Amino acid sequence: MPNNNISSTTNIGYPYSVDLIPPIVKFWLYLVFLIPSIICAVFVLYHLLCNQTFRRSLNNHVIIVLLLTVVVCQVTVFPWMLYYEYHINTWSRSFVFCLIWGFIDWGVYLLQLLLFAWASIERHILIFHDKWVSTKKKRFFVHYLPLIIIILYWFIFYTFVYFYPPCKNIFENSQMICVKICLFQSFVFRALEMLFHYIIPCFTIIFLGIILILRVLWQKHRMHQPIRWRRHRKMTVQLLSISVLYLLVTAPWAIMIFLRICGIPSDVGEGFENLTFFISYYIVLFFPFVSVLSLPELRTKFKNVLHLPRVRRIVGPETFDLASIKNQQVPM
């Protein structure tokens, strides 16, 4: 989730001075979606991991990793946020706890962006260049190795930023994310970090989603192979569904951050920036629902789970025992 530990001197980030949404409203707006989202995430993960067909499908591997990061955020950051919003300015936290919170809140959020940006690239490979993953060796270098590199790079980078910086992080118990990362006080460092880890991945997802639509339509028209495209349609729908989610939820805050980097004063659009920051947390809450809706097999199963058993009324001929009827008659 977006981190609001950005110094006012950098003019990049969350505007503390304008808070359009009261804390108690934030509390309920998050809580209403949190519990159903956790149930949905566990449901999708269970089927993707336990079903052999789903588990072996290359296009589902990134989704599995993303759902795991989503669940981590749902059971850590969101309960902490809810408690803070309900007990604002009364929760005393330790410095180590604040570092862990900041690491998960901001670091895991960016890991999700980086992973899905790669998924957007990989989906083009799986659909249009499937020969690149036709052997075990090719699958390792084209499919598994990029995932490993992204996760290792992310872990090393943000472990260094949060836990082993060359400067001293500042404890701020009055803020929700109660630590100010010293490296983020450098405008150059913060601008580059936001550019390469947030803005570029965000717009890569959106751009490649649009390109995928155009390529699919063109190839389908040119090749006239309905059976093959029926198989690829699932991967296309899955990517586009999640891309639309990122477009609606993540892109507005990315635009505001980009404008800050370009030099727009911090007091311009503070209210809107605050709102986009609040909305950006919903990427974690909505991702499981979009994932299950983009998979037809899971969508059907999830609907069956949600359906409550109904009392069936049987309409038909009714049989009677003539002897029992006569015994029940009252003599005149």
Q: What is the pLDDT of residue 223?
A: 64
**pLDDT (mean) for 287-298:** 85
What is the per-residue pLDDT across 182-239, written as a single tens digit (0 to 9) for each?
A: 999 898 998 899 899 998 998 899 899 889 888 887 877 776 655 456 667 777 888 8
If pLDDT is split at 50, 70 and 90, which confidence band does 19 have?
low
Cα dihedral 85/91/92/98 (nearest 10): -20
Tokens of 61: 């591997």
pTM over 0.85: no
**pLDDT (mean) for 11-36:** 76
CB contact at 8 A, 167 and 182 = yes
Judged by average pLDDT, the poorest of 168-172, 239-243, 288-292, 300-304 is 300-304
Q: Average pLDDT over the chain, rounded to whole? A: 83
Q: What is the pLDDT of residue 257?
A: 84
What is the per-residue pLDDT across 81-121, written as a single tens digit (0 to 9) for each?
A: 999 888 877 788 999 999 999 999 999 999 999 999 999 99
Residue 326 predicted with pLDDT over 90? no
**pLDDT (mean) for 230-250:** 82
Q: What is the pLDDT of residue 10?
A: 44
Judged by average pLDDT, the poorest of 60-69, 80-89, 268-277, 316-325 is 316-325
Tokens of 156: 């090393």
What is the per-residue pLDDT across 120-135, written as a single tens digit (0 to 9) for each?
A: 999 899 888 889 999 9
Q: What is the pLDDT of residue 90?
A: 76
Q: What is the pLDDT of residue 329?
A: 47
Residue 319 predicted with pLDDT over 60? no
Q: What is the pLDDT of residue 226?
A: 56
In CATH, what number does 23-302 get? 1.20.1070.10
Long-range CB pairs of 175-178 (<8 Å, 24+ gap) are: 175/4, 175/5, 175/16, 176/4, 176/81, 176/84, 176/85, 177/3, 177/4, 177/5, 177/98, 177/101, 177/102, 177/105, 177/106, 178/93, 178/97, 178/98, 178/101, 178/102
- Of the candidates 297, 204, 314, 198, the one whose C-alpha atom is nearest the C-alpha of residue 257 is 198
List of residues 6+ apart from 288 with CB closer than 8 A = 37, 38, 40, 41, 43, 44, 67, 70
Residue bearing the bigger pLDDT, 282 or 323: 282
Residue bearing the bigger pLDDT, 12 or 5: 12
What is the per-residue pLDDT across 139-178, written as a single tens digit (0 to 9) for each?
A: 999 999 999 999 999 999 999 999 999 999 999 888 888 9
Judged by average pLDDT, the poorest of 49-63, 64-78, 310-324 is 310-324
What is the per-residue pLDDT across 263-284, written as a single tens digit (0 to 9) for each?
A: 888 777 788 888 888 899 999 9
- Of the candidates 255, 277, 299, 259, the one whose C-alpha atom is nearest the C-alpha of residue 177 is 277
Domain locations in the chain as residue ranges: 23-302
Q: How far is CA 188 from the centre of its chain?
A: 28
CA distance 107 to 118: 17
Residue bearing the bigger pLDDT, 25 or 299: 25
